[in-house]
A and B are shown apart, each in its own frame.
Chain A
Amino acid sequence: MNVRQKLRLKFGAVIILAILAGLISYPRAVSKIPKLYDFFNKPKINLGLDLQGGIHLEYKADLSQVDLAKQKEAMQAMQDAVERKINAFGVAEPVIYTTKSGDEQRLIVELAGIRDINEAKKRIGEMPFLEFKEEKETAVEKIPEDELNKFNETAKKKAEDVLKKALAGEDFAKLAKENSEDPGSKEKGGEYDFIKKGMFVPEYEAVIFDKGLEDGEIYKELVKTQFGWHIIKRIEVRGEGDPAKSPEGDSGASNQEFKSAHILIAKKVQPEPKIEVTATSLTGKNLKSASVGFQNQGLTEPVIDLEFDEEGTKLFAEITKRNIGKRVAILIDGEIITNPTVNSEIPNGKAQITGSYTTQEANDLVKRLNEGALPVPIGNPINQQSVEASLGKISLEKSLKAGIIGMVLVIIFMLLFYRFLGLVASFSLLIYSALMISIFKLSGFSPWQITLTLPGIAGFVLSIGMAVDANILIFERTKEEIKKGRDILSAIEEGFKRAWTSIRDGNMSSIITAFILIEMGTGFVKGFAVTLIIGVIVSMFTAVVITRTILRFVMGKWLENKLWLIGVRK
């Protein structure tokens, strides 16, 4: 194969590439041939939120309750749950991913082409956060027995002293103020206004009702209750009936009330072991399904049956096993929904929520649970960008118009300034644009789909200007070489050779900054930087391969006497 044949082959390849790229970017050119049209019309540009309308939401996951080691898993579960929810909502191709920023885990939800932005946001916001909590006793330090006894003896002595004083006729109210350790009545001179019978501890009420005390009389002995020692004064009793003696045993039948005053000298007891409710690792991520059931064959209120996945079944069995006799709480959105006592280990992965639900409420909750229960609370988005579809459409139309006008102006400029060379450059500029659009469209078939955003279009338009730069560099150099006396073909070769280092070095700096822009990671910047990088690389390719091949093919001896065609004056 000689040089000429090789060149012809190369030129043919460029033409085929140009036609293919042209058809992919503008399939309507063959709309008369349905089969071909369908084939080339398949790849579509993936438009960003700002061009087709949509919403970008950023949620900060509250992982304060989750072990560090399990945070990643929780985020994945959260992402899955939100994905399920969005799919139920019927959004085409949602983009949902998690990112980490410092110590914070974030969930990003991007919904393109969505009609009702607020509805979508509401749907995500109402996703239930389901968790299971168990009781945990925490040991409290014990007070030594003799210390306790000593304290209580002193307290009892003090109580006896105060009783003596009260019986001796000292002002009861004053004594109460000085000595009582009941914060509820101390300041009121120990007095409690009318209270229904049955509300106070039985030892107290026994003194009021059963010891033959008159109104205004102080009981002569200390009364010991769980709180300590009381000195009790009956002030007044009114009302009829005695609940203990009423047939129904219902205190509502009695309206007996009493007014009294007391002085309490408190006693110290061993502190009770503290019971804390702590989170378990069983959460919404383990929910397989929820359904409405009815206890007692639908006669009473509906219940909600939960069924866990494999991991959840195992966890639930473990939780119930270690909590027999204790309570396990089911919480939705941080509120305890049901808090039953565990009777035995439950190995079948089923739990039941009983609560006072109407059938409607139960159905709604089940629907929410089935559409995606969260492993951690999602909260409100910390960052939102929403674009209404009509605004996106205007942006798309306007920026496309700007791009076309820009390109036409550049072509006019090139034709005026470089004439024949400008024509060649304009042709490769068209190929460049077609290649760019084709890359955008075909990227959808690869794992690296490129999304075209408004700044991306700006980047594209800007890259048209920069793509021309490579051509200008080459042409200027070629013209210079012709002026120096070289023949046209060797001038072109020289022009390419000498311009290449400038093109390479200059574009490297653009690529460096574009990569830094991508690292910044926000939507606007990313779209712009990605197109800029692709644009720079493709423009180098078109200048060095396509323009060069075309020039070599079409230029030759015939131009020697028509140098004005390439703008060279000799």
Chain B
Amino acid sequence: MINIISKTKYAYIFSGILTLLCIASLLVWGLKLGIDFTGGTLMEVQFENNLPNNLEVEENLKNLNLKSLSLQATGNSTILFRYVPEDDKTNQEVLKTLKEKYPQSKELRTDYANSTISKELKSKSLWSIFWAVAGIMVYIAWAFRKVSRPVPSWKYGMGAIIALVHDILITTGVFSILGHFYGIEIGIPFVAALLTILGFSVHDTIVVYDRTRENLLRSSSKETFPEVVNRSLNETLVRSINTSLTVIITLLAIYIFGGESIKYFSLALLIGVTFGTYSSIFIASALLVTSYKLQINHKT
């Protein structure tokens, strides 16, 4: 049996530093928000074979005076255009100009949202994350209502939530760094990924807690609480790693082969699932033990 609980200190230090770094990145660089949240236009145009230089294209679009125009070349000789105006007329003018200069250019995708929509999406996203966390917390407290000794059931809920906030912070932090250095934007798909990570991270934590619950109900009185938790962790370790591996395998397949549109969506999931597994093994149960120890110290 591996004594995982005895390594708690290192896990706390590692996670603490990582979380602080992510918070720092979020505070300093923030997140690069996509048009879903800021409003504006995103247009993907394909150029047959000879992809023109970004500067040249920008020069050609100069007299349209597009506010905050940015170009980004992607695979398959396409360029992503981003700009603030979000009306049909502007888009048509851009396409017309492109067609004149590059007769072979072809509009692949045009998304735009005006500020009403983007504001709405922003508040919807924040609320949905709030409700997901609240819903999960209530569910865990309910599912573990029968376990109250030696640690009360709401502490299981708290432990799962702390682990989950940890996973979410790290994923968001990584995207803040990616946004700063590689211009990767976050939109609605990112929020969907976050919510899925929420579900998955809790799923993992629950499996471990579930085993702890079962072992507590059946354990002999000789075993201490930290020992029971550690035994439960060991018993579920292979399962935790194997499950995460299968999910990570499929996510990697999507990330590598799934194409541009869902690449960063799967990357967010990949980061979240990986840290979700880590936190359910090293953080969530450790928190139970830590709070148990605090409880005992308090009593004596």
The answer to the question of A468 belonging to the interface, with a C-beta cut-off of 8 Å to chain B, is: yes
A413/B125 in contact, CB under 8 A: no
Q: Are B112 and A383 in contact (CB under 8 A)?
A: yes
Residues from chain B with Cβ under 8 Å of A514 in the complex:
199
Residue in contact with A468 in the complex, picked from B125, B195, B246, CB distance below 8 Å: B246
- Interface of B: prevailing SS: helix
| A452 beta carbon closer than 8 Å to chain B | no
Query: Which chain A residue has the least Cβ–Cβ distance from B255?
Result: A402
Q: Is B54 an interface residue (CB 8 A)?
A: no
B238 within 8 Å of A (CB atoms): yes
Residues in A with CB closer than 8 Å to B124 are 520-522
Q: Which residues of B contact A519 (CB under 8 A)?
A: 128, 131
A505/B206 in contact, CB under 8 A: yes
Nearest chain B CB to A121 CB, angstrom units: 7
Q: Is the CB of A380 within 8 A of B202?
A: no
Chain A residues within 8 Å of B203, by CB: 469, 506-507, 509-510
Residue contact A525 to B249, C-beta cutoff 8 Å: no
**Are B265 and A455 neighbours in the complex by a CB distance under 8 Å?**
yes
With A455-B192, A472-B243, A473-B207 as known contacts, state yes or no: A498 contacts B114, CB within 8 Å.
no
A525 touches B191 (CB 8 A): yes
Q: Report yes or no: B189 in contact with A455, Cβ–Cβ below 8 A.
A: yes
Cβ of B110 under 8 Å from chain A: yes
Q: How many B residues touch the partner, as a band? A: 35 or more
What is the distance, in angstroms, from A567's C-beta to the closest C-beta of chain B? Answer: 10
Q: Report the stretch among B14-22, B55-63, B115-123, B285-293 that lies at the interface.
A: B115-123
A509 pairs with B247, CB closer than 8 A: no
Q: Is the CB of B112 within 8 A of A395?
A: no
Nearest-CB distance from B95 to chain A (Å)?
Answer: 8
Across the interface, do B206 and A502 meet the contact criterion of CB distance under 8 Å? yes
Q: Are the CB atoms of A409 and B261 closer together than 8 Å?
A: no
CA distance A476 to B236 in the complex (A): 8
Q: Write the A454-469 contact mask toward B (1 if CB under 8 angstroms, else 0).
A: 1100100110111011
Give the total of A residues in contact with B, Cβ under 8 Å: 74
Shortest distance in angstroms between B241's beta carbon and chain A's nearest beta carbon?
10
Q: B265 to A402, Cβ gap below 8 A?
A: no
- Assuming the A-B contacts A386-B109, A406-B253, are A472 and B114 also in contact, with contact meaning beta carbons closer than 8 angstroms in the complex? no
Q: Cβ of B143: which chain A residues have Cβ within 8 Å of it? A: 505, 508
- Binary contact readout B199-226 vs A (1 if CB under 8 angstroms, 0 otherwise): 1101110110011001000000000000
A509-521 contact mask (Cβ, 8 Å, vs B): 1 or 0 = 1111110110111
Q: How far is the CB of A78 from chain B (nearest CB, A)?
A: 18
**Given A455-B192, A524-B188, 18 other A-B contacts at CB below 8 A?**
A384-B113, A388-B106, A399-B254, A399-B259, A399-B262, A406-B250, A407-B250, A461-B251, A461-B254, A469-B246, A473-B243, A502-B207, A505-B143, A506-B203, A517-B195, A519-B131, A520-B124, A525-B188
- A residues neighboring B (CB under 8 Å): 50, 58, 60, 101-102, 104, 117-118, 121, 125, 380-388, 390-391, 394-395, 398-399, 401-403, 405-407, 409-410, 413-414, 417, 454-455, 458, 461-462, 464-466, 468-469, 472-473, 476, 480, 498, 501-502, 505-514, 516-517, 519-522, 524-525, 528-529, 532
